[in-house]
Amino acid sequence: MSITVHMVDVFGAGPLSGNPLAVVTGADALATHDMQQLTRWFNLSETAFVFAPTHPEADYRVRIFTLDREMPFAGHPTLGSCHTWLSGPGAPRHATVITQECGAGLVQIRRDQGRLAFAAPPLIRSGAPTPAELEDARRLLGIEADDIEDAAWIDNGPGWLGIRLASADKVLSLEPARRWPTRIDVGVVGPHAKGGDAAFEVRAFFTDHLGAIVEDPVTGSLNASLAQWLFATGVARDDYVAAQGTRLGRQGRIHLTRDDAGQVWVGGDTRTHVKGELDDL
């Protein structure tokens, strides 16, 4: 069995500044539990496994794993998998878009100003959180109730609850709890002052398989649903760039655009830094 591992940096403003992703090709013979074990061994937020498609309209198929489960969709694995697939011998069925098959169905990806961008999937849960859900998020983040400008479910698969604060500085000052007794996924956004290279600062917090709170460096799925929320509520009126990973020493930059049909596209740079064979499986 010849398995190739590609270490791809996604959404980074420069080399080694975004969210690392392991993309595995040639793993057709691996069982699901083998993929989960390999994901845990890499110990990255996600690992993607690329296969030939089963849907007639798809260019390739991807399975995405976190440390504890398989995900139907995730953002930086989508761009990283597409980047890796495009580097191989295959060619897209259509000149303008690449079609990914994943657990959430078909996802469209396009080349946009030298970078890849995926079409934000529809939300599977929206609307206001209950008072108890909002209180959990407040306690997790260690803020007061009046610090929250707005809150909504913006779940496109991972389970995100969106929290909007008054400023990027407030977002960057957060010191969340280190552990949480139940599963929780909270995304926080606040505006930067005008004139910088990013319009909003984003942070993503979630529980891992051991109950610890983890901050994700750069999160495509969260930025997709945040953009849908910000555009729908009029907080964002024009295309914008979001920054993420600042507190972790990263320079994540996510490019959010909305086309004439109202479709939100989530773009970012992708770079392969390591490629090699995986032995002794």
Residue 126 covered by a domain: no
Considering the domain architecture, whether residues 169 and 232 belong to the same structural domain is answered as yes
Considering the domain architecture, whether residues 157 and 258 belong to the same structural domain is answered as yes
Q: For 2-29, b where at least 16 C-beta lie within 10 A, e where not — what string?
A: ebbbbbbbbbbbeeebbbbbbbbbbbee
Cα dihedral across residues 215, 274, 101, 67: positive or negative: negative
Considering the domain architecture, whether residues 247 and 273 belong to the same structural domain is answered as no
Considering the domain architecture, whether residues 135 and 255 belong to the same structural domain is answered as yes
What is residue 209's predicted lDDT score, i.e. its pLDDT?
A: 80
Q: Which domain holds residue 91?
A: 3-120+267-278
Considering the domain architecture, whether residues 184 and 108 belong to the same structural domain is answered as no
Considering the domain architecture, whether residues 188 and 97 belong to the same structural domain is answered as no
Residue 156 covered by a domain: yes
What is the greatest pairwise CA distance in the chain? Answer: 57
Residue 125 covered by a domain: no
* Token pair belonging to 172: 């960057």
Residue 58 covered by a domain: yes
Considering the domain architecture, whether residues 65 and 153 belong to the same structural domain is answered as no
Which tens digits make up the pLDDT trace of 216-246? Answer: 999 999 999 999 999 999 999 999 999 999 9
- Residue owning tokens 């878009």: 97
- Write the CATH number for 113: 3.10.310.10
Domain count, the chain: 2
Bridge partners, residue 244, by sequence: 202, 252
Which tens digits make up the pLDDT trace of 89-109? Answer: 889 999 889 999 999 899 999
Instruction: Identify the burial level of 64 via C-beta atoms within 10 angstroms of its C-beta, where 0-12 means exposed, 13-18 middle and 19 or more buried.
Output: buried
Considering the domain architecture, whether residues 15 and 74 belong to the same structural domain is answered as yes
Residue 204 covered by a domain: yes
Considering the domain architecture, whether residues 254 and 142 belong to the same structural domain is answered as yes
Residues found in the chain:
281
Provide the Cα torsion 61, 98, 7, 73; round to 10°.
-50
Q: Which residues of the chain have pLDDT under 50?
A: none
What is residue 1's predicted lDDT score, i.e. its pLDDT?
A: 61
Residue 155 covered by a domain: yes
> pTM score, two decimals?
0.95
What is residue 279's predicted lDDT score, i.e. its pLDDT?
A: 87
